């Protein structure tokens, strides 16, 4: 008996399905295409808070790297995008980690972002380096009084309080945004102590699976903003390209003021962005989207095929 389409789908060797899904993931990574990136309010809030520190020597942000290489695909692009934003808009950045596995990732993010900028360690940015987990709470609380005493030396062994970047930065009053990048509940400690005790602004850069756990803190105002997974990283990449690194018709820097209307009306081609490292998340979202659509199609066809086959068996 001649098989129909659904019978063929039911008997299809699963290795062909795996091959098609693999191609759906790989091809968009090799040949990027343009898709619409919708920016959500939690991501916007992080961007606007950082942007408000532009050019100020009495303001800085602290980026805490609380993850290892297993979650690098989701968190690394948002870290690079934020560092790029800071270097472009002259926002002072401090970085720290309490996991030895996070130290090379922190260095890699800084080195990746600063390649196109004339920034100097100790002047425009400062890495406190790796600090043992046993010092996490003493450092977190100590920063509320005096950062220079809480973290005495940076990752190069220099005295923190003597560095130019710390001239007008003393505690959470000036280091007025902490962003924790994690695949765990690490951000809660910043909320409990830095936010509740010292009034510091806290934001989160988290994996997509952690988003639901953090939304209550976002809704209560304990988090000023949040970047969720690869989608959040793609949104931030777009904001940086639309506003912070915008160029005029002659190619000169022409940063724009934040505007929802500009976001909606601006279409950025991935091919127009010269450096691929600054579009990692958007390319990844393309691959993720194609793979998800293909899997949904397979599920729908598989279910239709099952019911068609069952109906034929009953009829016979």
Pick from 308, 306, 75, 91: which is nearest to 210 by CA?
Answer: 75
How far is Cα 203 from Cα 39, in angstroms, rounded to an integer? 16
Whether the CB-CB separation of 177 and 185 falls below 8 Å is answered with no
Judge whether residue 267 has pLDDT over 70.
no
d(CA 65, CA 277): 19
Element (DSSP H or E) covering residue 286: helix 280-315
* C-alpha distances out from residue 31 to 22, 202, 273, 286, 293, Å: 14, 37, 14, 10, 18
The neighbour count for residue 195, using CB atoms within 10 Å, is 22
Q: Tell me the β-bridge partners of 269.
A: none
Side by side, the strands of the sheet bearing 92-97 are 125-130, 92-97, 60-66, 177-182, 202-206, 225-228
Counted residue by residue, the chain has a size of 316
* Average pLDDT, integer, range 189-196: 94
Q: How confident is the model at residue 246 (pLDDT cuts 50, 70, 90)?
A: confident
The tens digit of pLDDT for each residue in 37-82 reads 889 999 999 999 999 999 999 999 999 999 999 999 999 999 999 9
| Residues 6 or more apart in contact with residue 145 via CB below 8 angstroms | 171
pLDDT at 271: 57
Please answer whether residues 241 and 268 qualify as being in contact, where contact means their C-beta atoms are separated by less than 8 angstroms: yes
When computed from its CA atoms, the radius of gyration of the chain, rounded to whole angstroms, is 23
112-151 confidence digits (pLDDT tens): 999 989 999 999 999 999 999 999 999 999 999 999 999 9
Q: What is the dihedral of CA 48, 51, 53, 54, to 10 degrees?
A: -160
Q: Is 298 helix (H, G, I), strand (E, B) or coil?
A: helix
> What is the percent of the chain where pLDDT is above 90?
62
DSSP 128: E
Q: Which residue has the higher pLDDT, 40 or 311?
A: 40
Is the separation of the CB atoms in 314 and 11 below 8 Å?
Answer: no
**Entry pTM:** 0.87
CA diameter of the chain: 87
């Amino acid at each position: 008996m001649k098989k129909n389409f659904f019978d063929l789908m039911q008997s299809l060797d699963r290795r062909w399905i795996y091959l098609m899904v693999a191609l759906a993931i790989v091809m968009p990574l090799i040949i990027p295409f343009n898709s619409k990136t919708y920016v959500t309010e939690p991501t916007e809030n992080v961007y606007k808070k950082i942007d408000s520190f532009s050019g100020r020597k009495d303001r800085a942000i602290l980026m805490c790297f609380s993850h290892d290489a297993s979650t690098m695909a989701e968190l690394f692009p948002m870290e690079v995008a934020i560092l790029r934003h800071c270097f472009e808009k002259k926002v002072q950045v401090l970085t720290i980690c309490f996991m030895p596995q996070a130290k090379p990732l922190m260095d890699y993010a800084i080195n990746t972002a600063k390649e196109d900028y004339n920034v100097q360690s100790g002047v425009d940015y400062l890495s406190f380096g790796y600090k043992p987990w046993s010092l996490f709470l003493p450092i977190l609380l100590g920063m509320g009084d005096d950062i220079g005493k809480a973290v005495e030396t940076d990752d190069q062994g220099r005295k923190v309080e003597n560095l130019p970047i710390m001239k007008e930065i003393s505690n959470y009053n000036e280091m007025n945004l902490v962003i924790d990048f994690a695949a765990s509940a690490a951000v809660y400690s910043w909320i409990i102590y830095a936010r509740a005790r010292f009034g510091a602004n806290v934001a989160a850069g988290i994996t997509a699976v952690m988003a639901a756990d953090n939304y209550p803190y976002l809704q209560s105002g304990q988090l000023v903003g949040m970047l969720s997974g690869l989608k959040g990283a793609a949104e931030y990449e777009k904001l940086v390209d639309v506003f912070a690194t915008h160029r005029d018709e002659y190619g000169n820097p022409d940063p724009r003021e934040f505007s929802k209307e500009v976001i909606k009306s601006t279409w950025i081609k991935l091919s127009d962005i010269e450096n691929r490292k600054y579009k990692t998340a958007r390319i990844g979202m393309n691959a993720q989207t194609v793979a998800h659509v293909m899997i949904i199609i397979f599920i729908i066809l598989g279910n239709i095929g099952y019911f068609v086959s069952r109906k034929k068996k009953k009829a016979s």
